[in-house]
Amino acid sequence: MVTTYAVTHGRQMPAISRVASILSRNVAALRSGPSYWLVLLSGFFEPMLYLLSIGVGVGALIGNISVGDKTLSYAAFVAPAMLAVSAMSGALAETTYNFFAKFKFVRSYDSILATPLKPMDIAAGELVWAMLRGSLYTVCFLIIMVALDLTTPLWALVTLPATMLVGLAFGSIGMAISTMIRGWQDFDLVHVGQFSMFLFSGTFSPVQDYPFAVEILIALTPLYHAVEVLRALSTGAPSLGILVSIAYLALTTLAGLMVASRRMSKALLA
Amino acid sequence: MTEPLIYARALEKKFGDFAAVKGIDLEVAPGEAFGFLGPNGAGKSSTMRMIGCVSEPTGGELRILGMDPVRDGSRIRARLGVCPQHDNLDPDLTVFENLTTYARYFGIPRSEGRRRATELIEFVQLAEKADGKVEQLSGGMKRRLTIARAMVNEPDLVLLDEPTTGLDPQARHLLWERLFRLKQAGTTLVLTTHYMDEAEQLCDRLVVMDRGKVVAEGSPRYLIDTHSTKEVVELRFGTESPASFVEKLAGIGDRLDPLPDRLLLYTADGEGAVSEVHRRGFTPSSVLVRRSTLEDVFLILTGRTLVN
Amino acid sequence: MAGTLATLERNLITYKRNWRASVFSSFVLPLLFIISIGIGVGRYVGTVNGWDYLSFIVPGVLAAGAFQTAHGESTFAVMSDFKWSRAYHAMRATPLRIGHMIGGWQLYIQIRVFIGSAIFLAVSALFGAVHSPWVLVTPLVCALLALAVGAPVSAFAASLNSQSYFPLLTRFVVIPATLFSGVFFPVTQLPTLVLPLAYASPLWHAVELCRAAMLGTEPLWPAPAHVGYLLLIAAAGLVWANRAYSKRLKD
């Protein structure tokens, strides 16, 4: 299979088509195996199961929960958190294992950099790709949330772009990490971090319950902000406060992207 | 006469419809170095696996150390040393631990296992690597360690399946030298190989196998004397096809065998044959007179080369 | 027996090298679950069967830990000893029998599960979630569960040639089983259609037994029925393992 990187003679390619050329490479790779689709599907499966088990199952033992001045069913409380988790795991799956393999072992990027593309183009292309995988999960997840009456169709539409931002933030963090780690065994640590965030970012119980120092610590991590934004939007109760979280995610995206492209330049163009 | 360590009559191994071993007879006496020579796919490894009691014969009779390999597999294996074709050393263990752990599989007490491991590591010249990981060893070192491992139970019979395949010449010679010492110490060796030089170096007696059958049996010298001539002349004729010379050179020597790149001329008197070629007005681009080898025996018996 | 112990010894030497990787999954992970779900979510749950939520889920998470350890140790490790290191082929050339190889690996899993359960129970006791001396029975339940999971999964791994099935097994079997086997909420809450799946899960039977031992609650089925089911799966698993190992090492 040949993947082309369109070159316009003599002129600089527009940024959009440079990023698109990276996407078309990944789409081509995607078609190469059916098992990829199963793995792709399974990434969506996991947060869904947690929603049903903890959100609905344990939720039946809880009934309603009050956070601040709002009261909502426990399932509706957990659902946006699992929505954030599915955006996170979709984006991380692409930018950790897959990106690392392409960066260090398959060395796909060496050949791409022999074309007019620059490290920043690759980083941006991979990031958009990771975000799209996360969004595939979140679209499905939002549909199920609407079906289970955990949000309304209108608020689901409002929430969707926010899940894309979450995907971008985690994608760029994952990519930055992948340019820094030494080997596969370091992913164990990434996994520990990912799982700890999964359990403690206000996902299953409000962070206000934790001791203040722990709460501060959690507020420094990205999943907390993702959950804050998506919960506010999917429950139809946005506040000005979420602007801080949105800014946090946007800045994380830019910082991660810059770190990743700078480190790629250093590693591949030295 | 003592009982043979390996005794086979009409031994057969089938995988579904495919017969890998088609009825072979064998006897290996204690203290012998016995070889199976043949190209890939001749049935050597299948025979070795039956002798090693890890693969059941599908026909014929087989007795190892006087016992039935199917019923007494575990008891027989307790007295065998096996060096498989592909190394299966334990990558999670050190060089030394590979030996001590393996000793435990034979029920050898820990202290005794350590004593033997120390001795064997010395014997295969890996003492400096004793605490290193297996991954850090070269191919030749790994093979030597596998041989040391095969010796850990002080076996009555050592089976070596293609012991030097894939090794560089230096590593091969080191290995041959170690195996020769084992042989001198009276260990019974059974090995398979597709290298005629290996068979000539190590084996007292061998069988030539082809397509699941034994096509000849005897000592290397005996096989060469009976099946080949004293000398062989190798002739090359630039770009011309060697086959086209068969007719032109007919009558010189006992036999002519055209190979894709050269013509083999079998004769008792190499120099005489070369003068005869020149006398007929042919000037080969290269001429080599050498002694016959097992390779020639194999070619004469099967019409094919050993290594291709 | 000597042969089984010799292979066990090898497995323990290997573990001595690689134990760090297992600390997270067999110890830290259950602990994080206890804190996040047991304590964090627990404060919103009133009582379940008369017990506070933390006490309710501790027996479940205990069994789930054994379940996950037994599964985790029966996949890549087993397949790689057939396919990559060929350690089983090396053993096959010695007097060892297939039974020794299976026994040595299952005993190794038993030791791993026992250590994990003991540490988990000690920590749970610190959180005040151990209430009865019958807790001493739970390691036996975990041992039986570990065999009922370890044996068939090892057999499955022994018959595979590609590792790509393992992530699918984890995601489509192990995680759903962990989430819907009564660890976090009673299975009677499940829709009738899904209930038989929970009954089929060995984990559920172990959860019922552990909970009965630790909290004195009446198990859903009579205790001997739960034990019998686990024994049956374990026995079938061992038969399957024997067959799969033999087939893999033959010819």
DSSP secondary structure string for all residues of B137-168: S-HHHHHHHHHHHHTTT--SEEEEESTTTT--
Alpha-carbon distance of B163 to B152, in angstroms, equals 17
Could you tell me whether strands B6-15 and B18-28 are parallel, antiparallel, or unpaired per DSSP bridges? antiparallel
Separation of CA B251 from chain center: 35
Which of B77, B90, B104 is the closest to C85 by Cβ?
B90
Alpha-carbon distance of B50 to B67, in angstroms, equals 13
The whole-chain average pLDDT of chain A stands at 87
Q: Hey, is the C-beta of C247 within 8 angstroms of any chain B C-beta?
A: no
For residue B58, the chain C residue with the least C-alpha distance is C251
Pair A92, A171: CB distance under 8 Å: yes
- Indicate yes or no: CB of A45 within 8 angstroms of CB of C180: no
Residue A11 has pLDDT above 70, yes or no: no
- pLDDT tens column, C123-181: 999 999 999 999 999 999 999 999 999 999 999 999 998 877 888 899 899 999 999 99
Alpha-carbon distance of A253 to A260, in angstroms, equals 11
* pLDDT number for residue A9: 45
Tokens linked to B12: 């057969």
* pLDDT number for residue B104: 94
Chain C residues close to B84, C-beta within 8 Å: 89-90, 93
Backbone dihedral angles phi then psi of residue B83, each to the nearest 5 degrees: -115, 100
Cβ neighbours of B289 (radius 10 Å): 15
The whole-chain average pLDDT of chain C stands at 94
* pLDDT number for residue C89: 95
Residue A108 has pLDDT above 80, yes or no: no
Mutate to test the interface with C, among B64, B70, B104 (most CBs of C within 10 A): B104
* pLDDT number for residue A211: 93
* pLDDT number for residue A4: 37
Query: DSSP per residue over B90-120, as a string?
Result: -TTSBHHHHHHHHHHHTT--HHHHHHHHHHH
Handedness of CA A123, A126, A128, A131 (dihedral sign): negative
Mutate to test the interface with A, among C36, C166, C194 (most CBs of A within 10 A): C36
Chains touching C (at least 3 CB pairs under 8 A) are: A, B
Burial class (CB in 10 A: 0-12, 13-18, 19+), B55: buried
Alpha-carbon distance of C241 to C251, in angstroms, equals 17
* pLDDT number for residue A100: 87
Q: Do A and B count as touching (3 or more CB pairs closer than 8 A)?
A: no
Residue C34 has pLDDT above 70, yes or no: yes
* pLDDT number for residue A2: 35
- pLDDT tens column, A254-267: 999 999 999 988 88
Residue A40 has pLDDT above 80, yes or no: no
* pLDDT number for residue A33: 57
Pair B56, B100: CB distance under 8 Å: no
Residues of chain B short of pLDDT 50, as ranges, are: none
Q: Which alpha helices (H) appear in chain C, and where do they start and end?
A: 2-18, 20-23, 29-33, 53-72, 76-83, 87-92, 98-126, 138-158, 165-169, 175-179, 195-200, 202-215, 223-249
- pLDDT tens column, C50-85: 999 999 999 999 999 999 999 999 999 999 999 988
Alpha-carbon distance of C117 to C63, in angstroms, equals 8
Span of A8-12, A101-105, C41-45, C139-143 with lowest mean pLDDT = A8-12
Burial class (CB in 10 A: 0-12, 13-18, 19+), C231: middle
Q: Who wins on pLDDT, B179 or C27? A: B179
Backbone dihedral angles phi then psi of residue B43, each to the nearest 5 degrees: 105, 10
- Helix (H), strand (E) at residue B27: strand B18-28
For residue C84, the chain B residue with the least C-alpha distance is B88
* pLDDT number for residue A14: 75
- State the pLDDT confidence band at A8, using cuts at 50, 70 and 90: very low
Nearest to B46 by CA among B195, B161, B156: B161
* pLDDT number for residue B41: 86
Residue A10 has pLDDT above 80, yes or no: no
The distance of A87 to chain C (nearest Cα, Å) reads: 17
Tokens linked to A118: 């620059």
- Helix (H), strand (E) at residue B189: strand B188-193
Q: What number is the ipTM of this complex?
A: 0.91
Mean of pLDDT values over C15-33: 82
- Indicate yes or no: CB of A57 within 8 angstroms of CB of C172: no
Nearest to A246 by CA among A127, A136, A175, A161: A161
* pLDDT number for residue A12: 61
- State the pLDDT confidence band at A1, using cuts at 50, 70 and 90: very low
For residue C178, the chain A residue with the least C-alpha distance is A53
- State the pLDDT confidence band at C251, using cuts at 50, 70 and 90: low
For residue C86, the chain B residue with the least C-alpha distance is B88
Nearest to B8 by CA among B47, B46, B53: B47
- Indicate yes or no: CB of C96 within 8 angstroms of CB of B91: no
